[in-house]
């Protein structure tokens, strides 16, 4: 199909090239040969009268015109995709639709087992792909690479709708047979005891509990870091360290690991877990159904 003499199929190729800044990677993404993608780039250059991508050393960079086109082009394609995928009705028992959901490993551990169980209970035949959160995961939502984002309220975008799922509180965990297995966990002990904490890999932002502690003026004596929330409680077993973890996570891990938990010896704001989706998919029956699945799973979590 052509619009103002432009083959609209080329826009999808252009979107991949601008995002990946690579002709070969874009070709792989679209299951095309590199020569076919190079031909698409040549046609796009001729149409726009601009190189769009130029070689600089071992990498390709966008021209100013390409930079200006990148976000509006993605926005157009997300709108088209949302329009195509939105059906008048959605029946999960017959649909073969695949949903991409961005989750942290905390969500993966405490909520997702209940989500997949709820889908099974409803006889859903659609697929669910759980995708690890990266730096600024809302950008993946913005680009249409994810259908739902499950994240604390600190990290949701004001540009798209969201809904509250459940609330959690942070607790202190320690090895039950260690020096902090039966103590008064006061503020002095909390700040002086060696801590294990989670630091997101490749991220420049801190996790929610670090931000809440910083806002409360609390410091920690950190001597061990990991990239996984769910591994954190296990790493203090057999040591004199403590860790600050989500209450639901602590409860789940303590069923199988020799740990004790204490309330935090100071006040912090609540941890509120949210679900967010793209505004263009606000009336998508499939997204509405999946949001209800997460809501039911969150209710079940609070009953466990």
Q: Please report which confidence band the pLDDT of residue 279 belongs to, taking 50, 70 and 90 as the band edges.
A: confident
Encode pLDDT of 102-133 as tens digits: 999 999 999 999 999 999 999 999 999 999 88
Rounded to an integer, the average pLDDT of 57-78 is 80
pLDDT higher at 145 or 102 = 102
Give the chain's domains with CATH numbers: 2-85 (1.10.10.10), 98-167+272-303 (3.40.190.10), 170-269 (3.40.190.10)
Query: 10-24, 50-64, 78-92, 173-187 — which is least confidently predicted?
Result: 78-92
pLDDT at 121: 96
pLDDT number for residue 110: 95
Quick one: pLDDT band at residue 85, thresholds 50, 70, 90?
Answer: low
Residues 186 and 207: their CA atoms lie apart, in Å, by: 23
> What mean pLDDT comes out for the span 239-245?
96
Average pLDDT of span 233-258: 95
Least confident range of 75-79, 131-135, 196-200, 215-219? 75-79
Mean of all residue pLDDT scores within the chain: 87
pLDDT at 169: 93
Q: H helices within the chain, ranges in order?
A: 9-20, 23-29, 34-48, 64-85, 105-110, 112-121, 138-142, 187-192, 208-215, 247-254, 285-303
The Cα–Cα gap between 197 and 192 comes to 14
What is residue 299's predicted lDDT score, i.e. its pLDDT?
94
User: pLDDT category, 87, cuts 50, 70, 90?
Assistant: low
- List Cβ<8 Å contacts ≥24 apart for 93-97: 93/122, 93/123, 93/124, 93/125, 94/125, 95/124, 95/125, 95/126, 95/286, 96/125, 96/126, 96/127, 97/126, 97/127, 97/286
pLDDT tier for residue 146 given thresholds of 50, 70 and 90: confident
Bridge partner list, 234: none
User: What pLDDT, on a 0 to 100 scale, did the predictor assign at position 225?
Assistant: 92
* Closest CA relative to residue 247, chosen from 173, 183, 178: 173
Q: Average of pLDDT values for 276-295?
A: 91
């Amino acid at each position: 199909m052509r619009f103002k003499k432009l083959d609209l199929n080329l826009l999808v190729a252009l979107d991949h090239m601008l995002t990946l800044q690579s002709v070969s990677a874009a070709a792989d993404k679209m299951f095309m040969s590199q020569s076919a993608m190079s031909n698409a780039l040549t046609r796009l250059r001729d149409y726009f009268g601009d190189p769009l991508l130029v070689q600089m050393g071992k990498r390709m960079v966008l021209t100013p015109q390409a930079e200006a086109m990148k976000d509006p082009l993605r926005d157009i394609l997300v709108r088209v995709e949302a329009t195509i995928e939105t059906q008048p009705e959605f029946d999960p028992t017959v649909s073969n639709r695949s949903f991409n959901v961005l989750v942290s490993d905390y969500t993966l551990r405490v909520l997702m087992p209940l989500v997949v169980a709820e889908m099974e209970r409803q006889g859903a035949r659609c697929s669910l792909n759980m995708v690890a959160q990266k730096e600024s995961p809302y950008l993946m939502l913005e680009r249409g690479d994810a259908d739902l984002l499950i994240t604390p309220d600190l990290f949701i975008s004001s540009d798209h709708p969201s809904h509250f799922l459940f609330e959690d509180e942070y607790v202190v965990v320690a090895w039950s047979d260690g020096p902090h297995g039966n103590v008064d966990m006061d503020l002095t002990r909390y700040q002086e005891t060696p801590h294990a904490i989670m630091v997101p890999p490749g991220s420049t932002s801190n996790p929610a509990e670090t931000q809440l502690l910083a806002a409360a003026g609390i410091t920690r004596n950190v001597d061990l870091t990991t990239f996984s929330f769910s591994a954190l409680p296990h790493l203090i077993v057999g040591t004199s360290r403590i860790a600050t973890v989500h209450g639901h996570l602590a409860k789940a891990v303590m069923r199988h690991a020799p740990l004790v938990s204490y309330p935090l010896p100071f006040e912090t704001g609540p941890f509120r877990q949210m679900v967010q989706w793209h505004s263009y998919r606000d009336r998508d029956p499939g997204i509405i159904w999946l949001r209800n699945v997460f809501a039911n799973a969150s209710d079940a979590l609070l009953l466990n």
